Protein backbone atom coordinates (compact mmCIF):
# COMPACT_ATOMS: atom_id res chain seq x y z
CA UNK A 1 0.00 0.00 0.00
CA UNK A 2 2.99 2.38 0.20
CA UNK A 3 2.56 3.21 -3.52
CA UNK A 4 -1.09 4.25 -3.07
CA UNK A 5 -1.30 8.02 -3.51
CA UNK A 6 -4.01 10.61 -3.17
CA UNK A 7 -3.85 11.02 -6.95
CA UNK A 8 -4.61 7.33 -7.50
CA UNK A 9 -7.39 7.24 -4.88
CA UNK A 10 -9.03 10.25 -6.47
CA UNK A 11 -8.93 8.60 -9.90
CA UNK A 12 -10.32 5.36 -8.52
CA UNK A 13 -13.15 7.15 -6.78
CA UNK A 14 -13.91 9.14 -9.94
CA UNK A 15 -14.10 5.91 -11.91
CA UNK A 16 -16.49 4.41 -9.26
CA UNK A 17 -14.19 1.46 -8.61
CA UNK A 18 -13.84 2.73 -5.07
CA UNK A 19 -16.27 4.46 -2.78
CA UNK A 20 -14.33 6.73 -0.46
CA UNK A 21 -15.82 9.65 1.48
CA UNK A 22 -14.54 13.04 0.45
CA UNK A 23 -13.62 13.84 4.05
CA UNK A 24 -11.24 10.86 4.07
CA UNK A 25 -9.41 12.14 0.99
CA UNK A 26 -9.29 15.68 2.32
CA UNK A 27 -7.92 14.53 5.67
CA UNK A 28 -4.58 13.22 4.34
CA UNK A 29 -1.96 15.02 6.52
CA UNK A 30 0.47 17.32 4.68
CA UNK A 31 3.38 16.29 6.91
CA UNK A 32 5.16 13.39 5.08
CA UNK A 33 5.69 11.28 8.21
CA UNK A 34 2.14 11.74 9.47
CA UNK A 35 0.89 11.11 5.96
CA UNK A 36 2.64 7.73 5.78
CA UNK A 37 1.34 6.67 9.22
CA UNK A 38 -2.17 7.78 8.27
CA UNK A 39 -2.13 5.78 5.03
CA UNK A 40 -0.82 2.65 6.78
CA UNK A 41 -3.53 2.88 9.43
CA UNK A 42 -6.11 3.50 6.76
CA UNK A 43 -5.00 0.45 4.82
CA UNK A 44 -5.16 -1.74 7.89
CA UNK A 45 -8.52 -0.44 9.04
CA UNK A 46 -11.50 -2.77 8.77
CA UNK A 47 -13.49 0.18 7.43
CA UNK A 48 -11.21 0.49 4.41
CA UNK A 49 -10.68 -2.67 2.38
CA UNK A 50 -9.70 -2.51 -1.24
CA UNK A 51 -11.82 -4.91 -3.24
CA UNK A 52 -10.44 -7.06 -6.03
CA UNK A 53 -12.06 -4.66 -8.48
CA UNK A 54 -10.32 -1.70 -6.86
CA UNK A 55 -6.93 -3.42 -7.02
CA UNK A 56 -7.44 -4.17 -10.70
CA UNK A 57 -8.52 -0.58 -11.27
CA UNK A 58 -5.43 0.67 -9.47
CA UNK A 59 -3.27 -1.48 -11.75
CA UNK A 60 -5.03 0.02 -14.74
CA UNK A 61 -4.31 3.52 -13.47
CA UNK A 62 -0.62 2.63 -13.03
CA UNK A 63 -0.45 1.25 -16.57
CA UNK A 64 -2.14 4.36 -17.93
CA UNK A 65 0.32 6.57 -16.07
CA UNK A 66 3.34 4.68 -17.39
CA UNK A 67 2.06 4.76 -20.98
CA UNK A 68 1.88 8.54 -20.81
CA UNK A 69 5.64 8.70 -20.30
CA UNK A 70 7.26 6.58 -22.97
CA UNK A 71 11.05 6.94 -22.84
CA UNK A 72 13.39 6.53 -25.81
CA UNK A 73 17.05 7.28 -26.45
CA UNK A 74 17.97 10.53 -28.13
CA UNK A 75 20.22 13.57 -28.20
CA UNK A 76 19.71 16.67 -26.04
CA UNK A 77 21.57 19.98 -26.21
CA UNK A 78 21.59 22.07 -23.02
CA UNK A 79 24.04 24.75 -24.17
CA UNK A 80 25.53 25.90 -27.47
CA UNK A 81 29.05 24.80 -28.27
CA UNK A 82 31.17 22.12 -29.90
CA UNK A 83 30.22 18.51 -30.62
CA UNK A 84 30.67 17.68 -26.92
CA UNK A 85 27.36 19.42 -26.06
CA UNK A 86 25.45 16.64 -27.84
CA UNK A 87 24.24 14.47 -24.94
CA UNK A 88 22.97 10.88 -25.43
CA UNK A 89 20.21 10.26 -22.88
CA UNK A 90 16.65 9.13 -22.21
CA UNK A 91 14.02 11.51 -23.55
CA UNK A 92 10.26 11.44 -23.19
CA UNK A 93 7.95 10.92 -26.17
CA UNK A 94 4.24 11.39 -25.65
CA UNK A 95 1.26 10.07 -27.57
CA UNK A 96 0.27 11.73 -30.87
CA UNK A 97 -2.55 14.27 -30.68
CA UNK A 98 -5.04 15.22 -33.38
CA UNK A 99 -3.22 15.61 -36.68
CA UNK A 100 -0.03 13.98 -35.37
CA UNK A 101 1.79 10.67 -35.73
CA UNK A 102 4.54 8.96 -33.75
CA UNK A 103 7.37 7.66 -35.90
CA UNK A 104 10.07 5.11 -35.03
CA UNK A 105 13.09 6.36 -36.94
CA UNK A 106 15.03 3.92 -39.11
CA UNK A 107 17.62 6.40 -40.45
CA UNK A 108 18.39 10.06 -39.74
CA UNK A 109 20.10 12.49 -42.10
CA UNK A 110 22.83 14.77 -40.77
CA UNK A 111 22.88 18.23 -42.34
CA UNK A 112 25.08 21.27 -41.79
CA UNK A 113 22.07 23.17 -40.48
CA UNK A 114 22.24 20.82 -37.46
CA UNK A 115 25.72 22.22 -36.76
CA UNK A 116 24.39 25.79 -37.02
CA UNK A 117 21.74 25.07 -34.37
CA UNK A 118 24.21 23.26 -32.11
CA UNK A 119 26.66 26.18 -32.23
CA UNK A 120 23.97 28.83 -31.81
CA UNK A 121 24.35 30.39 -35.27
CA UNK A 122 20.64 29.64 -35.60
CA UNK A 123 18.57 29.81 -32.44
CA UNK A 124 16.24 26.95 -31.43
CA UNK A 125 12.79 27.81 -30.12
CA UNK A 126 13.79 26.70 -26.62
CA UNK A 127 16.56 25.08 -24.60
CA UNK A 128 17.28 22.26 -24.13
CA UNK A 129 16.44 20.90 -27.58
CA UNK A 130 16.84 17.80 -29.73
CA UNK A 131 18.54 18.56 -33.07
CA UNK A 132 17.85 16.97 -36.44
CA UNK A 133 15.68 17.98 -39.39
CA UNK A 134 15.56 14.88 -41.60
CA UNK A 135 14.54 11.28 -40.96
CA UNK A 136 12.79 8.23 -42.35
CA UNK A 137 10.81 5.90 -40.15
CA UNK A 138 7.78 3.72 -39.55
CA UNK A 139 4.53 5.09 -38.20
CA UNK A 140 3.87 3.38 -34.84
CA UNK A 141 0.92 5.46 -33.55
CA UNK A 142 -1.67 7.76 -35.10
CA UNK A 143 -3.58 10.60 -33.46
CA UNK A 144 -7.35 10.33 -33.12
CA UNK A 145 -9.43 11.25 -36.14
CA UNK A 146 -6.46 11.26 -38.53
CA UNK A 147 -6.94 9.83 -42.02
CA UNK A 148 -4.38 9.24 -44.74
CA UNK A 149 -1.73 7.79 -42.42
CA UNK A 150 -1.75 4.43 -40.66
CA UNK A 151 0.47 2.34 -38.43
CA UNK A 152 3.13 0.60 -40.51
CA UNK A 153 3.51 3.34 -43.13
CA UNK A 154 7.08 4.26 -44.11
CA UNK A 155 7.37 8.05 -44.15
CA UNK A 156 10.02 10.73 -44.49
CA UNK A 157 10.26 14.34 -43.46
CA UNK A 158 12.70 17.19 -43.96
CA UNK A 159 12.70 20.62 -42.36
CA UNK A 160 10.51 21.40 -39.39
CA UNK A 161 9.84 20.46 -36.69
CA UNK A 162 13.31 19.88 -35.35
CA UNK A 163 13.89 16.73 -33.28
CA UNK A 164 15.05 13.92 -35.57
CA UNK A 165 18.02 12.89 -33.37
CA UNK A 166 15.91 10.38 -31.44
CA UNK A 167 14.73 6.79 -31.69
CA UNK A 168 11.13 8.03 -31.92
CA UNK A 169 9.47 11.40 -32.42
CA UNK A 170 6.09 13.07 -32.78
CA UNK A 171 5.44 14.71 -36.17
CA UNK A 172 2.59 16.64 -37.76
CA UNK A 173 1.05 14.25 -40.30
CA UNK A 174 0.96 16.97 -42.97
CA UNK A 175 4.76 17.39 -42.79
CA UNK A 176 5.63 13.83 -43.82
CA UNK A 177 5.59 12.23 -47.25
CA UNK A 178 5.24 8.55 -48.14
CA UNK A 179 8.46 6.79 -49.12
CA UNK A 180 8.28 4.52 -52.18
CA UNK A 181 8.38 0.88 -51.12
CA UNK A 182 11.30 0.25 -53.48
CA UNK A 183 13.53 2.79 -51.73
CA UNK A 184 15.98 1.90 -48.96
CA UNK A 185 15.19 3.99 -45.84
CA UNK A 186 18.90 4.86 -45.50
CA UNK A 187 18.97 6.24 -49.04
CA UNK A 188 15.76 8.18 -48.46
CA UNK A 189 17.09 9.68 -45.21
CA UNK A 190 20.36 10.62 -46.88
CA UNK A 191 18.70 12.53 -49.69
CA UNK A 192 15.38 13.90 -48.43
CA UNK A 193 16.43 17.33 -47.17
CA UNK A 194 19.43 17.64 -49.48
CA UNK A 195 17.43 16.51 -52.52
CA UNK A 196 14.56 18.87 -51.77
CA UNK A 197 17.10 21.67 -51.28
CA UNK A 198 18.64 20.90 -54.66
CA UNK A 199 15.16 20.85 -56.22
CA UNK A 200 14.09 24.30 -55.08
CA UNK A 201 17.52 25.80 -55.82
CA UNK A 202 17.70 24.46 -59.39
CA UNK A 203 14.04 24.49 -60.39
CA UNK A 204 12.48 27.43 -58.54
CA UNK A 205 15.00 29.81 -56.94
CA UNK A 206 16.88 30.08 -60.25
CA UNK A 207 15.58 27.82 -62.98
CA UNK A 208 18.62 26.16 -64.52
CA UNK A 209 18.26 25.26 -68.19
CA UNK A 210 20.37 23.95 -71.04
CA UNK A 211 22.99 26.51 -72.03
CA UNK A 212 23.46 27.96 -68.55
CA UNK A 213 26.85 27.92 -66.83
CA UNK A 214 26.74 27.49 -63.06
CA UNK A 215 29.26 27.54 -60.20
CA UNK A 216 28.75 25.17 -57.26
CA UNK A 217 30.88 25.58 -54.14
CA UNK A 218 31.52 22.47 -51.99
CA UNK A 219 30.71 20.41 -55.06
CA UNK A 220 31.44 17.11 -53.30
CA UNK A 221 29.24 17.86 -50.29
CA UNK A 222 25.79 16.44 -49.65
CA UNK A 223 23.85 19.16 -51.49
CA UNK A 224 26.70 20.05 -53.84
CA UNK A 225 26.89 16.50 -55.18
CA UNK A 226 23.18 16.53 -56.04
CA UNK A 227 23.35 20.01 -57.58
CA UNK A 228 26.12 18.86 -59.92
CA UNK A 229 24.32 15.68 -60.98
CA UNK A 230 20.96 17.36 -61.50
CA UNK A 231 22.32 20.47 -63.29
CA UNK A 232 24.36 18.28 -65.63
CA UNK A 233 21.21 16.33 -66.51
CA UNK A 234 19.45 19.64 -67.26
CA UNK A 235 22.11 20.49 -69.82
CA UNK A 236 24.06 23.11 -67.88
CA UNK A 237 27.81 23.52 -67.84
CA UNK A 238 28.86 22.83 -64.25
CA UNK A 239 31.90 24.32 -62.51
CA UNK A 240 32.62 23.03 -59.02
CA UNK A 241 35.05 23.91 -56.23
CA UNK A 242 36.50 21.28 -53.87
CA UNK A 243 39.29 20.97 -51.32
CA UNK A 244 40.98 17.61 -52.04
CA UNK A 245 41.93 15.34 -54.93
CA UNK A 246 39.50 12.69 -53.71
CA UNK A 247 36.65 15.19 -53.73
CA UNK A 248 37.71 16.42 -57.16
CA UNK A 249 37.38 12.89 -58.51
CA UNK A 250 33.90 12.58 -56.99
CA UNK A 251 32.80 15.94 -58.41
CA UNK A 252 33.93 14.86 -61.87
CA UNK A 253 31.95 11.64 -61.53
CA UNK A 254 28.93 13.67 -60.41
CA UNK A 255 28.90 15.73 -63.58
CA UNK A 256 31.24 18.66 -63.00
CA UNK A 257 32.73 19.70 -66.34
CA UNK A 258 35.38 21.83 -64.60
CA UNK A 259 36.71 21.21 -61.09
CA UNK A 260 38.66 23.89 -59.21
CA UNK A 261 40.91 23.05 -56.25
CA UNK A 262 40.25 26.24 -54.31
CA UNK A 263 43.13 25.70 -51.88
CA UNK A 264 45.64 25.69 -54.74
CA UNK A 265 43.92 27.96 -57.27
CA UNK A 266 42.15 31.31 -57.26
CA UNK A 267 38.63 30.25 -58.16
CA UNK A 268 37.67 33.71 -59.48
CA UNK A 269 40.51 33.69 -62.03
CA UNK A 270 39.77 30.11 -63.04
CA UNK A 271 36.06 30.84 -63.57
CA UNK A 272 36.93 33.82 -65.79
CA UNK A 273 39.30 31.61 -67.78
CA UNK A 274 36.71 28.85 -68.17
CA UNK A 275 33.97 31.29 -69.26
CA UNK A 276 36.26 33.45 -71.45
CA UNK A 277 35.68 36.37 -69.11
CA UNK A 278 31.86 36.27 -69.31
CA UNK A 279 31.18 34.81 -65.87
CA UNK A 280 28.48 32.39 -64.77
CA UNK A 281 24.69 32.68 -64.75
CA UNK A 282 24.32 31.61 -61.13
CA UNK A 283 26.49 30.77 -58.12
CA UNK A 284 25.25 28.29 -55.51
CA UNK A 285 27.26 29.18 -52.40
CA UNK A 286 26.91 27.21 -49.15
CA UNK A 287 30.34 28.22 -47.82
CA UNK A 288 29.66 31.85 -46.93
CA UNK A 289 32.37 34.13 -45.57
CA UNK A 290 35.37 32.60 -47.38
CA UNK A 291 33.79 32.59 -50.84
CA UNK A 292 31.05 35.26 -50.86
CA UNK A 293 32.89 38.22 -52.40
CA UNK A 294 34.65 36.00 -54.91
CA UNK A 295 31.30 34.47 -55.86
CA UNK A 296 29.91 37.91 -56.70
CA UNK A 297 32.95 38.55 -58.89
CA UNK A 298 32.29 35.31 -60.82
CA UNK A 299 28.81 36.37 -61.98
CA UNK A 300 27.96 37.70 -65.41
CA UNK A 301 25.70 40.72 -65.85
CA UNK A 302 22.28 40.11 -64.29
CA UNK A 303 23.63 36.96 -62.66
CA UNK A 304 22.13 35.33 -59.57
CA UNK A 305 24.01 34.96 -56.31
CA UNK A 306 22.26 32.21 -54.32
CA UNK A 307 23.70 32.10 -50.79
CA UNK A 308 22.17 29.09 -49.03
CA UNK A 309 24.70 28.30 -46.30
CA UNK A 310 27.65 29.59 -44.31
CA UNK A 311 29.91 26.71 -43.33
CA UNK A 312 32.88 29.09 -43.05
CA UNK A 313 30.92 31.77 -41.16
CA UNK A 314 28.48 34.54 -41.99
CA UNK A 315 29.48 36.73 -44.95
CA UNK A 316 30.35 40.35 -44.29
CA UNK A 317 27.56 42.85 -44.99
CA UNK A 318 27.24 43.80 -48.66
CA UNK A 319 26.30 47.36 -49.67
CA UNK A 320 23.59 47.45 -52.31
CA UNK A 321 25.96 49.51 -54.43
CA UNK A 322 28.18 46.41 -54.85
CA UNK A 323 25.39 44.79 -56.88
CA UNK A 324 24.84 47.77 -59.16
CA UNK A 325 27.77 47.53 -61.64
CA UNK A 326 26.44 44.23 -63.08
CA UNK A 327 22.77 44.54 -61.97
CA UNK A 328 23.18 41.41 -59.86
CA UNK A 329 20.47 39.52 -57.99
CA UNK A 330 21.16 38.33 -54.44
CA UNK A 331 18.99 35.91 -52.49
CA UNK A 332 19.28 34.01 -49.21
CA UNK A 333 16.61 31.30 -49.63
CA UNK A 334 15.33 28.65 -47.23
CA UNK A 335 13.62 25.42 -48.15
CA UNK A 336 10.87 26.06 -45.60
CA UNK A 337 9.59 29.08 -47.54
CA UNK A 338 9.67 27.14 -50.80
CA UNK A 339 7.55 24.31 -49.35
CA UNK A 340 5.01 26.24 -47.32
CA UNK A 341 1.98 24.37 -48.65
CA UNK A 342 1.22 20.64 -48.67
CA UNK A 343 1.05 20.68 -52.49
CA UNK A 344 4.50 22.29 -52.75
CA UNK A 345 5.94 19.71 -50.35
CA UNK A 346 4.50 16.75 -52.25
CA UNK A 347 5.57 18.13 -55.63
CA UNK A 348 9.11 18.80 -54.42
CA UNK A 349 9.56 15.39 -52.75
CA UNK A 350 7.90 13.65 -55.70
CA UNK A 351 10.38 15.15 -58.16
CA UNK A 352 13.30 14.10 -55.95
CA UNK A 353 12.04 10.50 -55.66
CA UNK A 354 11.34 10.37 -59.42
CA UNK A 355 14.88 11.52 -60.25
CA UNK A 356 16.35 8.92 -57.91
CA UNK A 357 14.26 6.19 -59.55
CA UNK A 358 15.28 7.31 -63.05
CA UNK A 359 18.96 7.58 -62.17
CA UNK A 360 19.22 11.34 -62.73
CA UNK A 361 20.57 11.68 -59.20
CA UNK A 362 22.06 9.13 -56.86
CA UNK A 363 22.70 9.32 -53.15
CA UNK A 364 26.27 9.00 -51.96
CA UNK A 365 25.90 7.54 -48.47
CA UNK A 366 29.61 7.70 -47.76
CA UNK A 367 29.40 7.76 -43.97
CA UNK A 368 27.21 6.04 -41.37
CA UNK A 369 27.41 6.59 -37.61
CA UNK A 370 25.41 5.21 -34.68
CA UNK A 371 23.15 7.99 -33.36
CA UNK A 372 24.92 7.65 -30.00
CA UNK A 373 28.15 8.78 -31.74
CA UNK A 374 26.70 11.84 -33.44
CA UNK A 375 29.35 14.02 -31.78
CA UNK A 376 32.00 12.24 -33.87
CA UNK A 377 29.92 12.78 -36.98
CA UNK A 378 29.56 16.51 -36.28
CA UNK A 379 33.31 16.85 -35.75
CA UNK A 380 34.09 15.07 -39.02
CA UNK A 381 31.60 17.20 -40.98
CA UNK A 382 32.99 20.45 -39.55
CA UNK A 383 36.55 19.37 -40.30
CA UNK A 384 35.52 18.60 -43.91
CA UNK A 385 36.57 14.98 -43.55
CA UNK A 386 33.28 13.72 -44.97
CA UNK A 387 31.89 13.81 -48.50
CA UNK A 388 28.43 13.06 -49.82
CA UNK A 389 25.75 12.22 -47.28
CA UNK A 390 26.11 11.33 -43.60
CA UNK A 391 23.47 9.09 -42.04
CA UNK A 392 22.84 8.37 -38.35
CA UNK A 393 21.41 5.00 -37.32
CA UNK A 394 19.30 4.80 -34.11
Which residues, in sequence order, are bridge partners of residue 215?
239, 283
- Laid out side by side, the sheet with 237-242 consists of 258-261, 237-242, 213-216, 280-285, 299-307, 329-331
pLDDT given at position 51: 42
**CA–CA distance, 227 with 80 (Å, rounded to integer):** 31
Which residues, in sequence order, are bridge partners of residue 137?
105, 155
pLDDT given at position 387: 87
Which residues, in sequence order, are bridge partners of residue 345?
none
**CA–CA distance, 349 with 337 (Å, rounded to integer):** 15
The answer to whether 8 and 54 have CB atoms below 8 angstroms apart is no
Q: In this structure, are strands 237-242 and 258-261 parallel, antiparallel, or unpaired?
A: parallel
CA 286, 288, 292, 294 dihedral sign is negative
Tell me the average confidence (pLDDT) per consecutive run of 10 residues in the chain, 394 residues long. Answer: 42 42 47 51 47 44 53 98 98 95 98 95 96 98 89 96 97 96 95 96 98 97 95 98 95 97 96 98 96 97 96 92 97 95 96 96 94 98 90 97
pLDDT given at position 13: 43
pLDDT given at position 29: 54
pLDDT given at position 69: 72
**CA–CA distance, 37 with 194 (Å, rounded to integer):** 62
Angle at which helix 52-67 crosses helix 6-14, to 10 degrees, equals 110
SS (H, E, C) the chain: CCCCCHHHHHHHHHCCCCCCCHHHHHCCCCCHHHHHHHHHHHHHCCCCCCCHHHHHHHHHHHHHHHHCCEEEEEEEECCCCCHHHEEEEEEEECCCCCCEEEEEEEEEEECHHHHHHHHCCCCCCCCCECCCCEEEEEEEEECCCCCCCCCCCEEEEECCCCCCCECEEEEEHHHCEECCCCCCHHHHHHHHHHHHHHHHHHHHHCCCCCCCEEEECCCCCHHHHHHHHHHHHCCCEEEEEECCHHHHHHHHHCCCCEEEECCCCCHHHHHHHHCCCCCEEEEEECCCCCCHHHHHHHEEEEEEEEECCCCCCCCCCCCHHHCHHHCCEEECCCHHHHCCCHHHHHHHHHHHHHHHHHCCCCCCEEEEEEHHHHHHHHHHHHCCCCCCEEEEEC
Amino acid sequence: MAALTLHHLSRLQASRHLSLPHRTLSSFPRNPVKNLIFRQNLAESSSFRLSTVAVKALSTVAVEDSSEKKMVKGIRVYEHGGPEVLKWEDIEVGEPKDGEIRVKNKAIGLNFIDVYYRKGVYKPASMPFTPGMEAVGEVVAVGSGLTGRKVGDLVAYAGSPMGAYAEEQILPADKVVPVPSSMDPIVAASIMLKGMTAQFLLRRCFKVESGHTILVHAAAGGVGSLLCQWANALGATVIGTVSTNEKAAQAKEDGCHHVIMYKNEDFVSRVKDITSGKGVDVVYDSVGKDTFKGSLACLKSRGYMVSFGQSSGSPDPVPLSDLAPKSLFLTRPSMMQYNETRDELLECAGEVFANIASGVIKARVNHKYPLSRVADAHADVENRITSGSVVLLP
